[in-house]
Structure 1
Amino acid sequence: MSTLSLTPLWYGFKQFFMFSPRKQSVILVLMLLQGLTASIGLLFIIPLLQIIGFEVGITNINGIAASAGTLFEYLNLELNLPNILLCYVLIVTTIASLRYQLTIQTSSIQQAYINFLRNRLYRCLLQSNWQFIIQNRMSDFAHSLSGQIQSIGHASNLILNILSQLILATLTLSLAFLLSWQLSLMAIGFALLLSILLFPVNRIIYGSGQKQLLNFKMIFQILTEQLISLKIIKSFAGENYHANKMQQISTELESQQLKLVRMNAITLWLYMVITVISFSLFFYISQTVLLTPLATSLLLLVIFSRLLPQFSMLQKNYQQLVHKVPAFNDIHQMMEKCINHAEVDASEIPSPKLNNKIQLKNISFQYADKKSPVFSNINLTIHKNQTVALVGPSGSGKSTLADLIAGLLTPTHGQIFCDDILLDETFRLAWRKQIAYVTQETYLFHDTVRKNLSWVTNSRATDQQLWEVLSQASADTFVRELPQGLDTIIGDHGMRLSGGERQRLALARSLLTNPQLLILDEATSALDRDNEQKIQQALKQLRGNLTLLIIAHSETTIQHVDKRIELTTRLPEDDFKKVIE
């Protein structure tokens, strides 16, 4: 059975309250006023009716009646039935108005908090280093930024509700103490007994929340992988296999949901049993032991009938909050990890300019989860405006070396220079602003050609600039033939275009940033001969105008390069390496 720890919940509560303390204070005041007016409304009409001569048979409310009479005298109102009923209407109207304001204010702060958390987590994720990102599943990030953030937002609303119910219960109990402190203490005792009985249930709910979180993450992972690969799944007739995999996880999730319902049902059963027992004991003790007047006992039962549902709702909201504790903990841990792996802010750091050469000195790199390095002691020089080919068998570290040069990864040992500037933590992010990266998997979204190109310049590119880079990438011809030209929607992931057209758009987009270094990582490996030739033609036009680093298996793609760097796989008896220029 999972150990119930409320530390993440306490952290979440503090974070939520500190998010907007002024608004939180206003909401708490509104809750207090609502609770106060609701409690006054409960007893207000009875003592006033007694003052004006109605026989209500209650003897323990003289103090309340006197206070109410003083209030009427202060307001210079005549104590009669119409004025009493009018005041009662005003009290109920005030309660309704307070509830309206509470609904608006709590919803506003809940949505603002969700927005704050999502933006903060996403910004932390974007600002964390690439090595940390690739060690995690993208589906986990997606789940945290969507479902879990919404779950935390719901939990923040639960926190406000719990605070409200605590205030209402306290005020209601205070009125009960005015009538009979003995019976009120008994009510508190029954509430504590119910809490003790429900403690094992709360632990089960906490464990269910943990399992549900894991199941939701698995569903997100399956959906992320399968929806992207639907064409492959169908081509292998693997629909049933993957559908069964989803069904298995969904069944487990259903089981956890039913467990939560079962625990809530147990809570309700205990509440009803404890309530009927407590009501019976209240009435018996009040009549036989305390000799409380019948009307006072009935009024106490009315008050307790309002108090116990408040306590029941408090317990229900608390259980829902306990169920959210794993989500609180998961979001908090992810936030902390992202912050711990954050890159140095480069907004005030000037980007290094490539005026002469890029140098790698004794570069070694090893992934954290691997036992041996990808490569060791790499030394090479890339001069400005050179076209360099990086070749070698799969697993030799070509993409890793390109990521190091691009500033995405940090060398385990060694140094990388742009001219005389060491590309360390201080300058690595600033250096990336001078680089464009084109991979085999193009990043295109469901929008126009224009939007897919110009986002890299914050949509500041002119039509002339767009056509210019499209021409450089040998993509202008097919774009002009599209139904709406630059304003044609290209579909999700650019699916309305061919593979070669997508790659040429990606190349055009990279050129729009006017990079000092352009890296192409297997950008032509999945293309047919005709499209590969078009990309080659585009690269020939770029040769000598900017620094090019090309990773490719095809000899035709790299036949016109200025320099060829070959990496070989690591030999058991060798400290890796082979760089041939």
Structure 2
Amino acid sequence: MATALPPSSRALYFRLLTYVRPYWRVLAGGLVATSLAAATEPMFPALLKPLLDNGFASDTGYKPLTVAAMIIGIFVLRGGVSFLASYAMSWVQNRIITDIRQEIFARFMRLPAGYFNQNPSAQLITKVTYDVNNIAGATTTVGTVLIRDSLVVVGLLGWLLYINWQLTLITLLVGPLIAIFTRLLAKRLRTMSRATQLGMSVMTETLQEAISCQKIIKVFRGETQEEERFARVNHALRGYGMRQGIAAAATTPAVHLIASFAVAIVVYIAMVQSQQGQTTVGSFVSFITAMLMLLAPIKQLANVNAPLQTGLAAAESIFRVLDETPEADLGQTVLARAKGRIELDRLHFRYPKAERDALDGISLDIAPGQTVALVGTSGGGKTTLANLIPRFYTPTAGRLLIDGHDAQDITLASLREQIAIVSQEIVLFNDTVAANIAYGISRNAPRDAIEAAAASANALDFIRALPEGFDTLIGENGSRLSGGQRQRIAIARAILKDAPILILDEATSALDNESERQVQAALETLMQGRTTIVIAHRLSTIERADRIVVLQHGRIVESGAHRDLLAQDGVYAQLYKLQFSEPGGNHA
């Protein structure tokens, strides 16, 4: 039988039940139907006693047609209420799955960027696609089994006590033995459930990488390597499943074995009592029938540990996400439209577990409408600095001000409304061209505004040449478009948003010369009248920037206009000479 939960598991289970509360009426109806179904269980053995005692041996017994009708009626009633109970529980279970998935997704949308850096996306996806299903089973299926089969056991035991209380006491000895056995299995089931969840996330990660990196796999002939990698994950998951299955499968034969001793003893004593005239044939058959009918609900109660432990393990995983602290948004200042002044005052930032600061005392004043380029070797802090402006991360020390307001004092929503980003890693959605341009706060933009943004981004011609124009589905992350086309759609999205602050992160580094020319022209249109932070490895693209800031090891080592920095013959000049001395450097 199901064992009592330890305090920690009990608290976990009660927290799960809070998701049932909005649907308590439907659940209550299902439980009533479940109770009625359970109440029909003792009816059949109760019918056997008078039937055997009187029906076959006396002319005053039940009429055959009446007995047949009663049997059919019992099973029709049981089938009807069982259907209603199953439907109600299924309805509640699916609503719970929907609610928890929605809550997890909403929490994902509000977690800081650092969380996603520390947790593989495959693990997060697995929580939504796999773990939630196990939780729903624990909240409804387990509860249904506990209530229904407990009532069945109580009803059958009540009838057994009425028929022969001495034999019933022997039957009751089975319960504690089964409870002890199932408690021993519970810990094993929980451990294997956790391992299975981890294995599922690793498998999802392996699949995700194999699909997204399939071109590299083919070119480098890595098919066999990936197949072997997947086989290791697959067989590990099979092992977890088998260990979990063994623990669950051992329950039924163990319960039957324990119960068989009780049945054997009861049959022996009942036969002795019958020979001594202490019981009737009807009582004996009714007792044995009711006792055998006890095996099914006892088995269900014993087996409930498997989905219960699986559900609790899944709940631990899910609640860890739901208990994560969302992005801090304590700001009270709401910016209508920023002028675009950005000030960095002795700004420091260090990533978790890092040995040194990624930004070390950065001070910088960017005037409204000014274009500032950040350059330097990889790891110098360029992207980190850009990520602090929309508050993807919080500075370790120092201040970042927008129009004189500390960014920490500005509401996240109004701060990010002031910023548009175009990066090297273009992010597009598997939707239409129009939906990708008019995204987020711009999603209700009229078609003429969308087309105007596309025209400004030099994207109108190729969009109109697509099969369905602006209504063409572009595939996963724009897979049906070229790199330059994806980049120009991203620029059109930024143009439509019309934010006063613009961040360009390596926006042209992955393009061929012709695409770069078109994208660069679109970027120049986008940058007009906006405060722009440009991160670029191709130094030729930022020669006309108002100021170029050179970062090394998180510090500003040089700052000035292109010509001035070349004249200083310092770090920037060395980077410039090195880049243009490379083959094809004149296109850097």
On whether the aligned pair clears a TM of 0.5, the verdict is yes
2:153 aligned with 1:153: no
Shift, 1:190, TM fit:
1.0
2:80 aligned with 1:97: yes
Among residues 318, 326, 331, which one is paired with 2:318 in the alignment?
331
Among residues 13, 17, 29, which one is paired with 1:14 in the alignment?
17
Q: Which amino acid aligns with 2:55?
A: F
2:329 aligned with 1:344: yes
Shift, 1:213, TM fit:
1.4
2:325 aligned with 1:322: no
Runs (5+) with no aligned partner, structure 2: 561-588
Aligned equivalents of 2:146, 2:208: Cα separation in 1: 36
2:34 aligned with 1:31: yes
Among residues 531, 540, 546, which one is paired with 2:515 in the alignment?
531
| Cα distance, 1:172–1:13 mapped onto 2, change above 3 Å | farther
Aligned equivalents of 2:22, 2:558: Cα separation in 1: 54
| Cα distance, 1:458–1:19 mapped onto 2, change above 3 Å | farther
* Pairs aligned (count): 549
Q: What residue number does 1:495 align with?
A: 479
Show the 5 A alignment for 1:287-298: 287-288=271-272, 291-298=278-285
Q: What residue number does 1:111 align with?
A: 94
Aligned equivalents of 1:381, 1:56: Cα separation in 2: 106
Aligned equivalents of 1:506, 1:238: Cα separation in 2: 33
| Alignment deviations for residues 373-409 of structure 1 (CA, whole Å, 9 cap, x no partner) | 1012111122222222111111011111111012211
Among residues 255, 259, 281, which one is paired with 2:265 in the alignment?
281
Q: What residue number does 1:424 align with?
A: 408
| Cα distance, 1:429–1:502 mapped onto 2, change above 3 Å | same
Q: Which amino acid aligns with 1:178?
A: Y
The two structures have a TM-score, normalised by structure 2, of 0.87
| Cα distance, 1:429–1:463 mapped onto 2, change above 3 Å | closer
Aligned equivalents of 1:484, 1:542: Cα separation in 2: 26
Q: Which amino acid aligns with 2:525?
A: Q
Tell me the secondary structure at the aligned position of residue 539 of structure 2: coil
Question: Which is further off, 27-36 or 86-95?
Answer: 86-95
Q: What residue number does 1:73 align with?
A: none
Instruction: Work out whether residues 565 and 579 of structure 1, in 8 Å CA contact, stay in contact via their aligned partners in 2.
Output: yes
Show the 5 A alignment for 1:15-94: 15-44=18-47, 46-47=49-50, 54=55, 85-86=68-69, 88-94=71-77
Q: Which amino acid aligns with 2:498?
A: N
Shift, 1:448, TM fit:
2.1
Instruction: Work out whether residues 17 and 139 of structure 2, in 8 Å CA contact, stay in contact via their aligned partners in 1.
Output: no
2:446 aligned with 1:462: yes
| Alignment deviations for residues 326-364 of structure 1 (CA, whole Å, 9 cap, x no partner) | 212111112111xx2344388x97345312512121211
Aligned equivalents of 1:54, 1:293: Cα separation in 2: 13
Question: Which is further off, 546-555 or 179-188?
Answer: 179-188
| Alignment deviations for residues 402-436 of structure 1 (CA, whole Å, 9 cap, x no partner) | 11012211111112222132211652343012211
Instruction: Work out whether residues 134 and 307 of structure 2, in 8 Å CA contact, stay in contact via their aligned partners in 1.
Output: no
Tell me the secondary structure at the aligned position of residue 359 of structure 1: strand
Q: What residue number does 2:568 align with?
A: none
| Cα distance, 1:188–1:434 mapped onto 2, change above 3 Å | farther
Shift, 1:8, TM fit:
6.4
Q: Which amino acid aligns with 2:97?
A: I
Question: Which is further off, 189-198 or 111-120?
Answer: 189-198
Tell me the secondary structure at the aligned position of residue 100 of structure 1: helix
Shift, 1:193, TM fit:
0.7
Shift, 1:131, TM fit:
2.2
2:98 aligned with 1:141: no
Q: Which amino acid aligns with 1:312?
A: K
| Alignment deviations for residues 471-499 of structure 1 (CA, whole Å, 9 cap, x no partner) | 12111121122222112222222122111
Q: Which amino acid aligns with 1:37?
A: T
Aligned equivalents of 2:123, 2:399: Cα separation in 1: 33
Runs (5+) with no aligned partner, structure 1: 58-64, 66-78, 571-575
| Alignment deviations for residues 3-23 of structure 1 (CA, whole Å, 9 cap, x no partner) | 996346524543344343333
| Cα distance, 1:344–1:567 mapped onto 2, change above 3 Å | same
Among residues 531, 537, 561, which one is paired with 2:545 in the alignment?
561
Instruction: Work out whether residues 375 and 397 of structure 1, in 8 Å CA contact, stay in contact via their aligned partners in 2.
Output: yes
Shift, 1:323, TM fit:
3.0
Aligned equivalents of 2:409, 2:156: Cα separation in 1: 60
Instruction: Work out whether residues 386 and 543 of structure 1, in 8 Å CA contact, stay in contact via their aligned partners in 2.
Output: no
Shift, 1:266, TM fit:
2.2
Shift, 1:547, TM fit:
1.9
Instruction: Work out whether residues 171 and 263 of structure 2, in 8 Å CA contact, stay in contact via their aligned partners in 1.
Output: no
Q: What residue number does 1:307 align with?
A: 294
| Cα distance, 1:305–1:351 mapped onto 2, change above 3 Å | farther
Identical aligned pairs, as a percentage? 25
